[in-house]
Copies of this chain bind each other. A is one copy, B any other.
Amino acid sequence: MARQERAVRTRRAVLEAAAAVFAEHGYTAATVADILRTAGVTKGALYFHFDSKESLARGVLEVQTDQVLPPRDIKLQEVVDLAMTVAHRLRDDPLLRAGARLSADPAGRRQYGSAWPLWVEVLSGVLGEAHRRGETLAHVIPAEVAELLVSSFNGVQLYSQLENGLSDVEHRVSVLLKHLLPSIASPAVLMRLDVAEDRGARVLAEVTQSEAQGQVPVSA
């Protein structure tokens, strides 16, 4: 394994360990010692990549929006795909769970920031394109809808997490989208959107398959 590849893997292992610890204990209660133990790397290796608990939290937040999804003819389907794949991944991906918990921590986020502006930026881009293509209703303000989606999604996933450990998060996000989209999408677009509960799982299977075939999906 080349030296650089090894460094990338170590950095990723440390980030995933940090995410697991932040997701479980929250930022304040988490310690670098916990993260070291979970990552199974040396102190030197960890500090080579991250010089503090704060920079570990920043590192976790930076990778929140890294998942690349297939482009769609309807841009609003990309918005749905993003929401449904994040909902699906939340259950098994400590990075996303940590991102949600860190972003909602009033004390901690004063130090390391929040993932919400990243999500708003990504969604504003796709919603803006949908708007230019005429997919949305006339009154829609892309940036406003982006913030509405990020904030309401976060409320719904938090509710699911605290009430039943995320067991119904995809159902709840699907219900949220089914109630929001009629005031966002034009009717002809609305009827073509796939907002089913298992949409996230299907899109991620598609991504895995095209990666296995050596195709690189184009970023949304």
Which residues of A are in contact with B by a Cβ distance under 8 Å?
26, 101, 103-104, 106-107, 109, 114, 116, 144-145, 147-148, 150-156, 158-163, 172, 175-176, 178-180, 182-184
Contact = CB atoms under 8 A, between A and B. Distances in A.
What is the predominant secondary structure among interface residues of chain A facing chain B? helix
Most buried by B among A101, A160, A172: A172
15 contacts: A104-B158, A106-B161, A106-B162, A148-B156, A148-B175, A148-B176, A151-B159, A151-B160, A151-B172, A152-B152, A153-B155, A154-B159, A179-B180, A179-B184, A182-B183
Contacts of A152: 151-152, 155-156, 176
A127 to B, nearest CB: 13
A116 B148 CA distance: 20
A145 B45 CA distance: 49
A145 B40 CA distance: 45
A161 B153 CA distance: 16
Contacts of A101: 106
A104 to B, nearest CB: 6
Given A26-B107, A152-B156, A179-B183, 5 more contacts: A103-B162, A145-B179, A151-B152, A155-B156, A178-B183
